[in-house]
A and B are shown apart, each in its own frame.
Chain A
Amino acid sequence: MPAPFQIADFWSLAPEGLLTVWGLLVLVLDFGLLRRLEGPLRRNILGTFCLVGGLLTIALLLFTADFAERPTPLDEIVARDSITWWFNGLTALLLTLVVVLSMSNPFTEHWGEYYALLLWAAVGMMVLIAAQELVLLFLALEMMTICLYLLTAFVKKRRRSAEGGLKYFVYGSVSSALFLFGLSLIYGLTGTTRIEAMRSVLMEVAPTSGLSGNLAGAIAVLLMLVGFGFKVAAVPFHQWAPDAYEGAPSPITAFISTGSKVASFIALLRLMVHGLAPWAHREGSLVGPGWVGLTALLAAASMTYGNFAALAQTNLKRLLAYSSIAHAGYLLVGVLAASVSVDQGYKSAGAVLFYLMIYAASNLGAFALATWLARDRGDEDVEGLDGLGYRSPLLAVCVVLLLLSLVGVPPLAGFFGKLSMFMESLNTGKTGRLTLLWLVALALANSVLSAFYYTRILKAMFLRPPPARPLGPPNVAIGLPIVACTLVLVVLSLRPSLLVEPMTRAAGPLIGMPAAEGLDDLETTLSRAP
């Protein structure tokens, strides 16, 4: 058998390769040259080194932005499309900000291992984003989550860290096992592990009947939804999230709630919306046999439960954990809208991709605030934020913008994200219109509900006197991520089409349909509003 790949084919994996090698270099540096240095100095040197790695990765991505080259056999296994490019870029950016954020707080002594695992978690996310084949997809998923389990339990001084890590690990490994079982059933049914081939086999056999009369397929889909539901923290597979978020060091929490969720959603889009599209629903009805009906239930439960549970939280990280469960619910609405319609689906998928970007930016900034609390107070109670608006007005205003964007208040990017996602859900055509209408109505009601608990943070910052033990002045490691995320948000609020358009274009091939020429941008979407 001749070697199927040329060395040059692996160029598309260059960012992942760079980060892998960088992780090894960090370890060598830590155990060799820096061993005798004091903790904070060692942390800063290693952090800067990782920062350089992250920036180099972004530079490499800009350098490899050309997808128009000849197709290679590797493309069937590792995608080289524009989704991969954009979201690898997002992962690298998130990684860079998390690395910066980690330099704020001395929560561990093992900085070499910490940064190496962080870089390798990013490698897992990038491969997961690009994976076109089930074996690779599963390994990438494990790579990502195993790094995150370990990082969650990294703070030896806090028992909650170990507790969170253990819960994350136990839930995670069970759901991975179920997910793998589902994948093996899919392989048995379709005879292939490649997502593209899977799609064409299913298209050939059962293009319109959904999952009716196909019990094995239904079980496979169910098991896979368990796996994805865990990774994106959708109700009822969310129990790990608040504890793991609370226990993990704050920069890691930021990475779990943004990077890992984003990568899992891309994998979900590729595998379910693209690969298993023929199993989505029976033609003409949305609630019948098919995975779309189940996803609708997950979405509704996640939105409602997440928001109601968040109302009662006093710990900022737990509050954000429940709010990110709710956001997973909103995103699932977009995902199922994408799979309902054939000719409009790519717009919904594009809206989901856009929302993922906005969500990642807002949430990372919010967790930077939690890092600040953890640094100066040791806990993450919302009370600790009292009076922050007068002590550091600039960062407080940035946080206001981030939180309002998470709520979805009009002039901000989060509003455009939600608007385009829900609008496209309603525009998908006749099939399942009523179900989608209900879901969108529920999502809107939930957005209003979410304003209550986000406002509590704002109220603490601006309307209360500073507590006895107020937050100290921020350092660069905390200020930079908050300001950077806010800048991204502000730019996207002013010109949403900067990102909406490329996202919609990128989503075309995902839905199995080339994006049409002359895409509607957001302005046309707005003018179509009923």
Chain B
Amino acid sequence: MKPRIKPKKLAVEERVKSFNEVVLGYTEEEAIKEAERCIQCPTPPCVTGCPISIDIPSFIKALRERRFEDSYKIMIATNPFPSICGRICPQEQQCEKVCTLGKIGEPVAIGKLEKFIGDLYLNKSNPEVTSPNGKKVAVVGSGPAGLACAYTLAKMGYSVSIFESLHKPGGVLTYGIPAFRLPKNIVEGYVNQLREMGVKIEVDVLVGRTIKFEYLLRNFDAVFLGTGAGLPRFLNIPGENLNGIYSANEFLTRVNLMKAYLFPEYETPIYRAKHTVVIGGGNVAMDAARVALRLGSEVTIAYRRSRKEMPARIEEIENAEEEGVKFVFLSSPIRFISRDNFWVSGVEFIRNRLGPKGPDGRRSFVPVEGSNYFMKTDCVVIAIGQLPNPLLPRLIPKLECDERKGTIKVDEEGRTSIPKVYAGGDITTGAATAVEAIAAGVRVAYTIHKDLS
């Protein structure tokens, strides 16, 4: 078996000075060579591993036969945004995890091939749109779920209006994921494509406040809620509101959406720290750490379990390490300290040891009494997860929610407790991946189509 072709990466010294994309794409020759590694399994496990069921063997076959347009068409038959998924999907936990080649060596680099084909046609090809069917759908939130739902409905001839509260569409793809992982022109490319397909995108509209929810019910045949998991979790430990302590959402939004890294040309400030401590072990923690690094700070990620339990993608952990992010494991913060009662100056941690496996299969952790230690810092980013955004559910009293999880309750096909109202993505599942939200957006679009036909 030939080895997997590693895509080129930007040199580390280049990376930490800019927000340019780190993982460069395959060249045509590299893509074809990698595609030739695929053994075209008759019952392909990769397709079942893909949350959005892309016909992976077929797109790879078309690719290696240089039928690029066919390959792209196979791709977008199920996934509207290949240039996004090719970059940010955790393929090693999905399609590539179950790839047959992976059993004897390295799996096919499905994600990198997806990115190659997606990028080839980005801004160049619009899907065929059936003639208007006269039905109107409102989409609340322009993150991955909302964009995918809008795309799928528009293709089927629906008149779609997206309502976004921020001044720029894209949701977490715009405010959350840094440009070095997902360049902003890619999200913009897909947003422009939606506009060209006739989707109306209204920014600066908070549904429930700027326009009444009832207004949507009156004026649209269906409403899709894709408001995401935007509520940052905090630790609830002493000193958390000291200056210099950010939620990951705030830290990333200031940099990604508001371009605070270009301060003062862009007028949103961000603190330029000497040493930033990022609390958490997921992809958001990796993103925050690598952003902090690019702002000129030394960075330490502190995670409460061991490296093995980290939920972040291995690729992102490696990227962070290569760039110089340090890690401390088995450490939980118990309080933040300030020398002047104004700005954070340190974190007190307690060491943990691993305990037995929990219900999620990961080992639990147990604090070790008397193992406390201090770490000096002038900036902290808390990246311990996000909860579903409670604002819209709060403003629609009739909408049934799961009180404990804060999610909107839906049936298997995405219908909420209110007729004509549907939901999908993180607002129904709790924080998950972008591709799962895209898959939900597409799936619920078909439910809406079924119900309205």
A binds B: no
